[in-house]
Structure 1
Amino acid sequence: MATTSAAVKVIPAPEPVPQPFAIKKAPTVLLTVHSFPTMEPVRFDQVASTFLHAPLRRDILHRAVIFEGDAHRLGRAKTKYRHEVRGSTRKIRPQKGTGQARLGDKKSPMLRGGGVAHGPKPRDFSTGLQRKVYDLAWRTALSYRYRRGELVVVDGSLDLQEADPGLANTIVQRYGWGKQSGRSLFVTNEPRENLANALEELEEDARVLTKFEIDVKDMLETGRVIIEREALAWLEKEHGLGVN
C-alpha cells in the first residue's frame, strides 16, 4: 500500500511590535523671573510641574467658574406675601348676593397693591465644589497661562514710584499688555496704591488685583497675567496640593 506524505506549511512567528518609549514627565519646570519695570530676566526658578504644567481640563475650569459665579450671585429680590402687606383684613364684599366672584381682603394677590403669590425671596445661590477639584482648577488655569507664555512673573513689587497714568500707559504699551492683546491683569502680593491709582484711567488696558481678590475666572479672561513672585508662591501653597 502506497503512502503519501502531505507537505506541512510552517507559519513564521510574528515579529514583535516595537513599543513606544514612555516619556517621563519632568518633576519641575523652569520659570523666568523678571525685574520690574525693565522686564529684564533676573533668574530661573524651578517650580513643580504639577503646579505649572498640568494638562488642560476644560471641564474642571468650567466647574470652577460656575462655582465662583454662584458664590458671587446676590439673591436680594424680595416681594411681600399677603400677610406682609399693610392694611385691613376686612372682607371687601359679601360672599354671596353680588353676582361677582368671591373675594377676601384687599391684600389678595388678585388685586392691585396686594401681596405677590410665590414671589422671589432673598436666598443663597452658592453651590458646593470639592476643595481638591477647585485646587486642580487653579493649577490648570496657571498651567494654561504658563504654556502659552502669558504668565509673566516679576521679582519684588509691581508698584510704581508715583501714581502716574502716563508712566503706567508707557509700560503697558511697550510690552504689549494693552487692549490690543486682550487686556492684562496685575496680581500683587499686597495692595499697591500707586499702581492701582495709575491704572484707574487705563481700565480698557489693564486692571490690578491682590492675591486675595483673584479667582479662576480672572486668570482666564485677560490676555496677560503679570504676577509678583511672592503672590505666585502663595498660590502654590494654597492650591498646590490635591489631585494631579
Structure 2
Amino acid sequence: MKLKVQTLDAKASGDVELNDAVFGVEPRADILHRVVTWQLEKRRGTARAARERSDVARSGKKFGRQKGGGTARHGDRAAPVFIGGGKAHGPRVRDFNPSLNKKVRALGLKMALSAKAKAGTLTVLDNLDVKDGKTKVLADQLAKLNLGKVLFIDGDAINVSFAHASSNLVGVNVLPAVGANVYDILKADSLVLTRAAVEKLEARFNG
C-alpha cells in the first residue's frame, strides 16, 4: 500500500510504501473487542476488602444487660453500628488481572492500524518539528491538515517541540511508537504516523 507523505504545513514530501502485513489486514470486530476489553481491565487496580464483623479484633463478650439498661440490646462491640466494629456486607478482594495471548494482541494492533488505513483516516508525516514549539503555530498547521480528535505516533521518542506545542491543544494526543495501542488508535478520529513511526511499527511485527 502506497501513501503520500506530507509535512505539518500540508505540503507533499514524497511517498511511503506501507507493509500490507501490518496496514492491510482485514479488521475483525471480535478481535478488536477482545483487545480493548483486555486493555481496560488491565488498568483496573485490585479492589481491596473491608474487615467484617468476624475480622475485627473486638471483645465477643456481651457488654450490657439485655434489659433495663436504657439502650438497645447488643451482643458485642464488633457490631457494625459501633466505631471500630466490622463492616456489614463489606467489599471482597477482587483482582483484575486478565490474560490475552500475545498473538491476539499483536493481531489486534495490526487490525486497528489497518482499520484507519482502510477508512482513509491515516496520515503519514515527514516529521513533527514545530517552529519554536509554539502552540499557535501547531494549531494553524493542524487546521490546514483538517485534523480534529487526532492521535500522533512518533518514533523512538516524542518530538520535544511537538510535545510542548500540543500540550494545551484539546483532542490532540501523542505517543512514541512503543506506546501504540488499540484503544487509543480506535478512540481517535484520525491517526497520524511519522516516517520513523512507520519503520518502528513494521520492525516491531517483523522482528
Decide: shared fold, TM above 0.5. Answer: yes
* 2:172 aligned to which of 190, 206, 210: 206
CA distance in 2, matches of 1:37, 1:97: 81
What per-residue deviation string (whole Å, max 9, x for no partner) do you get for residues 86-135 of structure 1?
A: x64252436x854986623x1234x2432225533554312111111111
Q: Look up the match of 2:4.
A: 32
Q: CA deviation at 1:199?
A: 1.7
Which region of structure 1 is more displaced relative to structure 2, 208-217 or 58-67? Answer: 208-217
RMSD: 2.7
Q: CA deviation at 1:140?
A: 0.7
Give the number of the structure whose alpha-carbon radius of gyration is greater: 1
Q: Which of the pair is proportionally richer in helix?
A: 2
Instruction: Give runs of aligned pairs for residues 72-221 of structure 1, distance below 5 A.
Output: 72-82=43-53, 85=56, 88-89=58-59, 91-93=61-63, 98=67, 103-104=75-76, 106-109=77-80, 111-113=81-83, 114-117=85-88, 119-120=90-91, 123-155=94-126, 157-178=127-148, 183-189=149-155, 190-203=157-170, 205-221=171-187
Off by >6 Å, runs of 4+ in structure 1: 99-102
Q: Percent identity?
A: 26
User: In 2 relative to 1, CA 37–97 (structure 1 residues): closer, same or farther, beyond 3 Å?
Assistant: closer
CA distance in 1, matches of 2:172, 2:132: 17
SS at match of 1:144: helix
CA distance in 2, matches of 1:73, 1:151: 30
Q: CA deviation at 1:65?
A: 0.3
User: In 2 relative to 1, CA 89–139 (structure 1 residues): closer, same or farther, beyond 3 Å?
Assistant: same
TM-score (normalizing by structure 1): 0.71
Which region of structure 1 is more displaced relative to structure 2, 229-238 or 219-228? Answer: 229-238
TM-score (normalizing by structure 2): 0.83
Q: Look up the match of 2:204.
A: 238
| Unpaired stretches in structure 1, ≥5 consecutive residues | 1-28
Q: CA deviation at 1:173?
A: 1.2
Number of corresponding residues? 202
CA distance in 2, matches of 1:122, 1:237: 41
Q: CA deviation at 1:76?
A: 4.6
Instruction: Give runs of aligned pairs for residues 5-44 of structure 1, distance below 5 A.
Output: 29-34=1-6, 36-44=7-15
SS at match of 2:167: helix
Q: CA deviation at 1:73?
A: 1.3
CA distance in 2, matches of 1:240, 1:221: 26
CA distance in 1, matches of 2:109, 2:181: 8
| Alpha-carbon contact 1:136-1:239 (below 8 Å) kept | no
| Unpaired stretches in structure 2, ≥5 consecutive residues | none
| Alpha-carbon contact 1:75-1:124 (below 8 Å) kept | yes
Equivalent residue letter for 1:198: A
| Alpha-carbon contact 1:33-1:41 (below 8 Å) kept | yes
